[in-house]
Structure 1
């Protein structure tokens, strides 16, 4: 019996020292792993944040470029017919959108839906106003009706989308 007590007397303190060392080392490695993850995240943020901001900038530019007033001023030319202008406006919107498709990677899914909805609302406006006019008439008729119709819309989708985009950008900083 005394032999067992002698063995316990030496083994028990060793087990306590081993358990303490194990727990200390485990905590150290866990904290080190958390620090490495945090450092990786911060380094990643330093690279991704400027890219995301550029994506938001590009999307604001896209929305401003497809805004009916700026789109018509940019695309309308002397001597164009309603049909020619309508086709040119639609092609310009689609080209702008395709050029910015990759930006969806950097924005939320909800914002991307808003952007697509804004694009579709402008296309729908152009289609609906163009269908009410004679295709061969001067493009000034289409220009005028599209701009007037857009101005009559209370809180147009494109304005809501710009506000949502700005809100998402400001959430990055908060």
Structure 2
């Protein structure tokens, strides 16, 4: 009887080892296959979404360029001579541009979107700060004062432009 149990064990142990090895092999194979398919799907999605993401980056780059005070003042001329009206017109123009591109935020990282938003806010703040000066009494002087303010320092939108360029370079 003991011989039979020993013989049975001698047959079962190699079968059990073979079964364990086969299980481990197939588990590894299926895990690799799952990861490969996941990679293929991600690659295909990236291939389809990359042009859309790049277009979003282009649009927000254009937005930041358009709200740069130097370019904004050239593009948006004062309607009248009232500095408050011109200040409102400039800020309204920036807000409209921003709202027009608001949906693009889904293609940006949270940090990048925050920098873009901060660039917009800083530009609005710059316009408001300059307009608060009591020396400025009309729209033309406001334009001139904003341009003079920009002579010494870079536009607030430059920070957003640099961040967008950095993010786009990471895509490649």
> TM-score w.r.t. structure 2 length?
0.89
| Structure 2 residue ranges without an equivalent (≥5) | none
Q: Is the 8 A contact 2:84 2:131 kept in 1?
A: yes
1:20-31 correspondence to structure 2 within 5 Å: 20-31=21-32
CA 1:133–1:72 in structure 2 vs 1: closer, same or farther (change >3 Å)?
farther
Match of 1:143 in 2: 143
Question: Is the deviation greater in 6-15 or in 143-152?
Answer: 6-15
Q: RMSD of aligned C-alpha atoms? A: 1.9
Q: Is the 8 A contact 2:130 2:142 kept in 1?
A: yes
Equivalenced residue count is 171
Aligned pair 1:63/2:51, yes or no? Answer: no
| Structure 1 residue ranges without an equivalent (≥5) | none
Match of 1:13 in 2: 14
CA 1:157–1:78 in structure 2 vs 1: closer, same or farther (change >3 Å)?
closer
1:24-173 correspondence to structure 2 within 5 Å: 24-77=25-78, 79-133=80-134, 137=138, 139-153=139-153, 155-173=154-172
Report the Cα distance in structure 2 between the residues aligned to 1:134 and 1:145, rounded to whole angstroms.
10
In the TM superposition, what is the alpha-carbon distance from 1:135 to its structure 2 partner? 8.1
Q: Which consecutive segments of 4 or more residues in structure 1 shift more than 6 A?
A: none
Q: Is the 8 A contact 2:83 2:137 kept in 1?
A: yes
Q: Is the 8 A contact 2:69 2:155 kept in 1?
A: no
Report the Cα distance in structure 1 between the residues aligned to 2:137 and 2:145, rounded to whole angstroms.
15
> TM-score w.r.t. structure 1 length?
0.88
Question: What's the secondary structure of 1:115's corresponding residue?
Answer: helix
Question: What's the secondary structure of 1:96's corresponding residue?
Answer: helix
